[in-house]
Structure 1
Amino acid sequence: MVGDSGYVQARQTPRGRKVLVGLSTASVYPENAEAAFRYAAELGYDGVELMVWAESVSQDIGAVAALVRKYAMPVQAIHTPCLLISQRVWGADPVAKLDRSVRTAEALGATSVVVHPPFRWQRRYAEGFSDQVAALEERSDVIVAVENMFPMRADGFFGSKERSAERLRRRGGPGAALSAFSPSYDPTDSGHAHYTLDLSHTATAGMDAMKLAERMGSGLAHLHLADGRGASMDEHLIPGHGGQPCAEVCRHLVDSGFEGQAVIEINTQNARTRRERASMLGQALAFAREHLGTGRATSGSARSRPGGDHDDT
């Protein structure tokens, strides 16, 4: 539906009815945001999480609203431009960027903003981060969900992903590592009202995902559903293709009456064709539907949807 701002608002689902499963626009890289909306519509996702980064469309409310209308696919969440590669997107001030992310979410009808903990070198931002998050939630209905991250591991500078994953398994943790985040890559160390749980990040950090979910408690409002083997680099595998307790976390959320959103955030860069990428995104959605009890996913083949046909190149 169209809200007072003139932009298409997210479809509302009655509380407790089902967990909405969205697709992160980052999951289709190196394709663009429009491709993510198209895949989401074809495969039967409930919406998208918009990663704001260098692509101009991702930074433009009007352009995104046009995609919402074209594909009948709402924006569930906004991911603040807080990656290392997006440090200059929407300017250099992270305080202003977080504020703008919430205003963008309001304009597009998204109910959540995902943000990483501040980097250590962002001292002013880090000092006021908890207060800013709390103040933004006080002034808005948008949830600001702080995401768990991972340290920079020494074994990331040598060897393969497989070897680093094996080293983590043998050690029972990441070994020598340095956190780039302040005060920690674990947001529960600071305490916030709402959190995003990322299951690829728990793998890289060597964290117990179930224990982290329990520490987040009722504040767990957003799930990045992916997987990892414990490699030193963030993998974002299809859930069920790594070593994380993805199914157990999903069941825990269902059993605890989770009222937040789940978003598929996987790496499909190795897909050689659009058909192969669609298959990967379809597998991830099927896993989410099965373990979150949200109904059956459509098959990986394209179905009728607004916006034209889908090719295999």
Structure 2
Amino acid sequence: MIQLGMSTSCTFGKPLDTSFKIAKRAGFDGIEIMVSTEAATRSAAAIRALSRKHDLPVLAIHAPVLFFTQFVWGTNPTVKLERSVDLAREVGADVVVVHPPFRWQTTYAQNFLEIIRRLERGSGVALAVENMFPWYVGGNGTRMYAPGINPIEMDCDSITIDFSHAALAGQNCLEMTRDAAHRLRHIHLCDGQAPGSNGKIFDEHLAPGEGGQPVAEALQYLRDTQWSGHVVAEVNTRGAKSETERLRILRRTVEFARRNLGQI
């Protein structure tokens, strides 16, 4: 069974309660919570209360491994993962989304795969490593992650495929979805252009169908192979001029996903 969720990153800057409310109104099955500087995102009690209030389960926790969350739960990356797993278990989520280490996190990078395997097998929660992308400086791609940006090439048990990240890395989300095979646990549903397209070299997280990735075909592949996991919208709605417009974007995303997943 494929569950359709919304990441709280879609409503970046809004309180967690608002994210739950919008996800419910848009028609999602559940929600992925990005652990951030907002206290509620780090509180199992607060999350459970919101889940009950809005009748919306938590599908996944996104560990605080982004650059802007580098000081959330301290600076020890292993502790961040451990606390993310604990939070996931407390709120009923079965996936923790994690990025590969930054290349300057030398010791962590050397032990990363061993750490996530230990945590995953000891908790029953999948630590799904997300595909990343080069950072572009002066028009040139810079290596920022170790052991790399593509978890398909890593010795990990669980994988998250982000379609916008695939675009920025010059990859094809359909091919990546196929190549991940049985290790694919989680999808970040969005779209994007190839690096340099229209002069853009940043992570766009467009609504599905608005970029250059074969998003519909990837979802249809998941449908046809009877894949079971989470498809979580991670769409940038910061340009929405009103909550009505934001809701319209997310409802279109729900309709796009359900149509191509064969759920309508």
Please give the TM-score of this superposition, normalised by the length of structure 2: 0.95
Identity of aligned residues (%): 41
Within 5 A, what are the aligned runs for 1:65-76? Answer: 65-76=48-59
Q: Distance in 1 between matches of 2:108 and 2:262?
A: 39
Amino acid at match of 1:133: I
Based on CA coordinates, which of the two structures has the bigger radius of gyration? 1
Give the C-alpha shift of residue 293 in structure 1: 1.5
Amino acid at match of 1:123: T
The DSSP-based 3-state class of the residue aligned with 1:66 is: helix
**Structure 1 residue ranges, 4+ long, deviating more than 4 angstroms after superposition:** none
Q: Counting strand residues as a fraction of each chain, which structure ranks higher?
A: 2
1:247 — aligned with what? 216
Q: Distance in 2 between matches of 1:294 and 1:100?
A: 34
Q: Contact (CA 8 Å) 1:19, 1:294: kept in 2 or not?
A: no
Which among 117, 125, 130 is matched to residue 134 of structure 1?
117
Within 5 A, what are the aligned runs for 1:171-250? Answer: 176-230=140-194, 231-250=200-219
Give the C-alpha shift of residue 155 in structure 1: 5.0
After superposition, give the CA deviation of every residue in 1:222-251 in whole Å (9 maximum; x if it has no partner). 000000122310000000011111001101
Amino acid at match of 1:251: Q
Q: Contact (CA 8 Å) 2:36, 2:69: kept in 1 or not?
A: yes
Give the C-alpha shift of residue 22 in structure 1: 0.3
Amino acid at match of 2:5: G
Within 5 A, what are the aligned runs for 1:250-265? Answer: 250-265=219-234
1:36 — aligned with what? 19
Q: Contact (CA 8 Å) 1:221, 1:258: kept in 2 or not?
A: no
Amino acid at match of 1:83: L
2:86 — aligned with what? 103
Q: Contact (CA 8 Å) 2:174, 2:215: kept in 1 or not?
A: no
Give the C-alpha shift of residue 56 in structure 1: 1.5
- 1:292 matched to 2:261? The reply is yes
Amino acid at match of 1:273: S
Q: Contact (CA 8 Å) 2:59, 2:94: kept in 1 or not?
A: yes
The DSSP-based 3-state class of the residue aligned with 1:258 is: coil
Amino acid at match of 1:244: Q
Amino acid at match of 1:145: A
Q: What's the Cα RMSD here?
A: 1.1
Give the C-alpha shift of residue 57 in structure 1: 1.1
Please give the TM-score of this superposition, normalised by the length of structure 1: 0.81
Q: Which runs of 5+ in 2 are unaligned?
A: 195-199
1:61 — aligned with what? 44
- 1:94 matched to 2:77? The reply is yes
After superposition, give the CA deviation of every residue in 1:109-130 in whole Å (9 maximum; x if it has no partner). 0011100001111111111110
The alignment of Structure 1 onto Structure 2 pairs a total of residues equal to: 259
Q: Distance in 2 between matches of 1:210 and 1:289?
A: 17
- 1:266 matched to 2:230? The reply is no
